[in-house]
Structure 1
Amino acid sequence: MRSLLKLCYLLVFTFLLACGESAEKSTSKERGTEKISAESTDKDSVSSKKTIVFFGNSLTAGMGLEPEQSFPSVISGKIDSLDLDYFVINAGISGETTASGESRIGWLMRDRIDVFVLELGANDGLRGIPLSETRENLQAIIDTVKENNPGVKIILAGMQIPPNMGPEYTEEFRQIFPDLAEKNQAYLIPFLLEGVAGIPQLNQADGIHPTIEGQKIVAENVWDILEPILD
């Protein structure tokens, strides 16, 4: 039953993406301007802290929810409660592909990044973008972050897609993330939406984006990997 629910979720995801792609693109820049923000608005007060950047698409942006309900914000709350010396920046933009992510990554290099969580690729797979391009774009993003932030810790969020493009494409897509994590000595979240994908009560009406409770589970999936690497 769990597997069937996941498959239904992914098929609905594909259908809704095709229907809503143009509308999402028209608002992505506006949403990006609103959502790319530090959890603290007073930069001076956090200047001595280390920086965690979440770089992704609508899953990271918390589409359909208030900014403070996104999983990066949930994690920011955990960090504050533990009095850890970090602050969080949510750099998620709805509709983002690896190509558009690669084109804007330089904008984030103005300030130091200590931990970089990369959550991109799902939109590539759902649109059938050649997997070689997805790999190259993700690698280019990683290279840029490393070149500008020596010693940065990188976490790669694994993703899965439905089998619409055929089993070979689907499996190769899934394998991109562990391959790049190993190649770059990065940390890997095996599947970002584990425990959320395909469960109706944990997803919004679109069947795609997690609810508030779903975002909390996604935050735990990330936290399992993130917490041990925080100094």
Structure 2
Amino acid sequence: MKRQKSTLALLLLLFTSMVLFSCGGNSSETQTAEQTETTSESQEEKQKVILFFGNSLSAGYGIDPEDAFPGLVQARLDSLGENFKVINGGLSGETTAGGLSRLDWFLEEEPYIFVLELGGNDGLRGIQLSETKKNLLAIIDKVSAKYPNTKIILAGMQIPPNMGQEYTDEFMKIYPAVAAEKQVTLIPFLLEGVAGNPELNLPDGIHPTEEGHQIVFGTVWPFIEENI
């Protein structure tokens, strides 16, 4: 009888040990899964952001957004193994005033590089030059005030002489003046080698084709590369 009780006690002890071991194993597996998920999230959070804040040129009007120059920047960064995320903040028809009004929404996430590509629609509409300059300055000020370490690149723009040669000349001077005043990097002319070439633009004569965006990417990339 005593031997049976001893055997039962031994079996109970073994069963209890197995249950405890099993629970301990599940807990370890759960912790490992949680740690993996946390590590993955941490890696994503460490991605640096490049924000292209502009109009239809950044948005890639008339073509696949991945083939627009911001998408090509992302592809190049990925090919180099750089941990960057490109956000395309382009909106067709956007003016500097419109950009200023919607900027806060895009600044919820800190940009490592902020590329400002606005003003072309102002020029095409004949908006007062002082207004365009004021808005560009205000956009830069707002970004700098919230994120002092963000690197800002201003994309220079030129327009056809539809509004008169004097207006066109003065418009072109806005960008180097703003860049100098705020001490930000200037791309002299975003559409260098593309503007005015029918083979590189859509039928509207304003928006680049996929091939045109390849050239724009070539203009923009050196300024991105030196800041990453």
Query: Normalising by the residue count of structure 1, what TM-score does the alignment of the two structures yield?
Result: 0.79
Corresponding residue of 1:114: 112
**Secondary structure at 1:100 match in 2:** helix
Matches within 5 A, 1:1-231: 46-230=44-228
How much has 1:72 moved relative to structure 2? 0.1
Q: Residue type matched to 1:95 in 2?
A: G
**Judging changes above 3 Å, is the alpha-carbon distance between structure 1 residues 44 and 72 closer, same or farther for their aligned structure 2 residues?**
farther
CA contact (8 A) 1:46 1:87 kept: no
Question: Retained in 2: the 8 A contact 1:155–1:187?
Answer: yes
Q: Residues 18-51 of structure 1: CA distance to partner in whole angstroms, max 9, x if unpaired?
A: xxxxxxxxxxxxxxxxxxxxxxxx9876321111
Secondary structure of the structure 2 residue equivalent to 1:229: coil
Match of 1:23 in 2: none
Shift of 1:158: 0.5
CA RMSD of aligned residues (A): 1.5
What does the per-residue CA deviation read over 1:183-222, in whole Å, with 9 as the maximum and x for residues that have no partner? 1111111110111111122111222211111111101111
Q: Extract structure 1 runs of 4+ deviating beyond 6 A.
A: none
Identity value in percent? 57
Segments of structure 1 that go 5 or more residues without pairing to the other structure are 1-41
Within 2, Cα distance between the matches of 1:68 and 1:164? 32
Specify the code of the residue in structure 1 equivalent to 2:60. Answer: G
Q: Distance in 2 between matches of 1:73 and 1:222?
A: 12
* Counterpart Cα distance in 1 of 2:140 and 2:166: 25
- State the Cα distance separating 1:166 from its structure 2 match: 2.2
Q: Following the alignment from structure 1 to structure 2, what is the Cα–Cα distance between the partners of residues 222 and 133?
A: 26
What per-residue deviation string (whole Å, max 9, x for no partner) do you get for residues 57-82 of structure 1? Answer: 00000011112111100010111111
